Chains A and B, each alone.
Chain A
């Protein structure tokens, strides 16, 4: 049996021309170039979610000290080397719970006033215990994204896990400072010891 000699019909179309490829390259490079040129401030998604947590949590917290109620502002301290850059800018000066929101970047925990919220940056990992100690009995709500934060005396941790930002709360550490936290927030969080 002779092998079938049928030739498959040749295509009559042209191969992609040089011009076509040039167009591809041009379009792609243009988009890349324009994106690079318009590169913006440092606020990636993980940081944005963390910042949104910090800002939103204020709505779910009641501080005990009666003096706090006299203040007309509420302060978020960012302690250490802040990753947020100017991410908080849009909410600075916003009114939250009837008070003006102030954001302060600080290097030392001593400057933190009672009845505020502090976000402890990862740069402070090694001196975390001493910071927590300094803040004792000041009714300061402590937040961080340092691993094991809630086990090392911290109150609320926003770690990255499974490509998401989790919310871990150590209720004991919060109660010790007589801070009241709403049950809605507790429902959303994972509670730790």
Chain B
């Protein structure tokens, strides 16, 4: 009874808080003259977005988070063919390749613990592609073309206050180009060693108020060395934007990705994923924007652990944005339902497993409902001082309590070219379907003849409280930027599995950890023909056992030279420190050694820039290296070469 009253009091306090917030914002709006827009330097005006798909838009200097934006140009010149390779350019981000199709991408803390990168949230045009079955992102199953990406915002540190649970260590926000920008015909083809073939064809057009783009492509490679990991991926995406009138727009996105993923001899399961997304945007008046978005997502990732694995998601979200001179507001609410079938949830025992085989362990469909509401308010107290407060409330069926993920930040600009920021935030990673509900056993050679996994319905979500201090500066007449962050992450209730001396492993909230680190990045336009970027990260954890899983140091040096005769040379050098895996039941301990990777792309344009021919070399410094323990089934990253052709016409 007392508990109930306390809860009620908390709710009342929350409502009171929001009321105060809103009243304050109204009075603040009336009190201040809008003027700071006129004081923005003219060179920044052309790069400012009128609108954006991100939850909030800020000029990078005023951003309360450690945001790094990858542009279409950076993506192209990097020579990356795999989407995940481009994240090597981002300061503070760990990219761990397991094989040709499976990669972990995460920032701050564990690169890949214990079996997958589970603390980073990935969105494409506002659609989450994070998988709730085991909480990770299967990058290879996402229908997306590098050539259609406008930019990627990588936000390091928790951002659950805006994006919801699982925006734990970082958020990767991929934004594809407006179809206006991709009118005409585009074709690219790349062929390389290890039987690699990468092709993309795109057509875009406009008819009246309708602007559309259709893209199709095929990727194939024999994959990495060491184990069998042949990868084939046909994919297609469609986007159509219909402008209803000058203030409202309807967008429709859809996509398909498929193909097979080789896991061993005579074992190459098919994966299928498709999605449909519809979004309606209405500018209510000049300052206020209303959006409603719905998507349906289907993924059959049969290759995950070699088990039947199907996910169907329906997600609807409404969002209201208000950008005024004195304050910005984003608020919204969303509902999501996930339906999962997975062999791990089947409840089948080892005898049934032996009789049917792993792919035929059909489970009942299990559900999760997630309901969320969020509000984010930023006051522009003056041109120099911006204060924001954000709160996400979520109700997830796997978590007993309502989850509150707040974030508070202060951004201070002592001069036009310098900004200092401090933020405190809290976020959660919710238990996955498997962590919550797994129940199965498989035959095993040692007594008692089987091993299995058991979910735990009383798990608490993993929780992080993060403190971050950051600085950004612009120097040398906009030719140099420097950015640095110090962070301290306090992580509780880490979910790991424990065998308890039996052969059934049960998931438990077993460990706490703190991770602290420093990130440094800098970019310089050294000459009109020379761009240079550099980044370095150092981080360490407090838990002796878990510290080994953290990649302590990494660095990147990226040079781009614009040479005569339309030649462009891009070189990327990355250093990644070693990390360590402790012995686990049935896997020995192992160390992944540090490595240095060099990627080069040399290109030249012809036919008044319609045609571009490029030579690409990746991993040039060694023939092969491990990025994840061989004992856990990882292949070796190999040296690869590509010859690439890109043709654009009628833009």
Contacts and interface: CB of A to CB of B under 8 A. Distances in A.
Interface of A: 1, 3-4, 6, 8-9, 11-13, 16, 19-21, 23-24, 26-28, 30-49, 51-53, 55-57, 59-60, 87, 89-91, 160-167, 185, 188
B42 A57 contact: yes
Contacts of A49: 37, 45, 48, 50
Of B19, B37, B49, chain A has the most CB atoms within 10 Å of the CB of: B37
B193 interface: no
A164 B47 CA distance: 7
Given A35-B322, A167-B46, 19 more contacts: A1-B352, A8-B437, A12-B457, A19-B8, A20-B395, A21-B371, A24-B371, A27-B14, A31-B22, A35-B288, A42-B287, A45-B323, A55-B38, A56-B45, A90-B33, A90-B34, A160-B50, A162-B181, A188-B43
B47 A23 contact: no
A99 B349 CA distance: 86
Contacts of A44: 283, 285-287, 323
A161 B352 CA distance: 60
Closest 3 pairs (CB-CB, A-B): A34-B22, A90-B35, A44-B286
Interface of B: 8, 11, 14-15, 18-19, 22-23, 25-26, 29-30, 33-35, 37-38, 40-43, 45-52, 150, 177-178, 180-181, 283-288, 320, 322-325, 329, 331-333, 347-349, 351-352, 355, 371, 373, 375, 393, 395, 397, 400, 402, 437, 439, 457
A9 B438 CA distance: 11
A21 B15 CA distance: 13
Given A23-B11, A24-B333, A49-B50, A1 B355 contact: yes
Nearest to B287: A40
A13 B349 CA distance: 27
A55 B35 CA distance: 12
Nearest to B10: A23
Interface of A is mostly: helix
B18 A46 contact: no
B558 to A, nearest CB: 24
B375 A31 contact: yes
A27 B43 contact: no
A47 B325 CA distance: 13
Contacts of B52: 163
Given A43-B286, A52-B37, A166 B29 contact: no
Contacts of A41: 286
A131 B503 CA distance: 86
Contacts of B439: 6, 8
Given A26-B15, A49-B48, A90-B35, A4 B347 contact: yes
Contacts of A45: 48, 50-51, 323
Contact of B351 (A1, A24, A42, A55): A1
A12 B397 CA distance: 11
B45 A91 contact: no
B40 A164 contact: no
A31 B18 contact: yes
A47 to B, nearest CB: 7
Nearest to A16: B395
A14 to B, nearest CB: 9
B369 to A, nearest CB: 8
A91 B375 CA distance: 32
Given A11-B457, A90-B34, A90-B35, A30 B22 contact: yes
A46 B325 CA distance: 13
Contact of B331 (A13, A32, A39, A55): A32
B42 A13 contact: no
B101 to A, nearest CB: 32
30 contacts: A1-B351, A6-B349, A20-B402, A23-B14, A24-B333, A24-B395, A26-B15, A27-B373, A28-B331, A31-B375, A33-B22, A35-B288, A35-B320, A36-B288, A42-B287, A44-B283, A44-B285, A45-B51, A48-B37, A49-B37, A52-B38, A56-B42, A59-B42, A90-B33, A90-B38, A162-B177, A162-B180, A163-B50, A164-B48, A164-B50
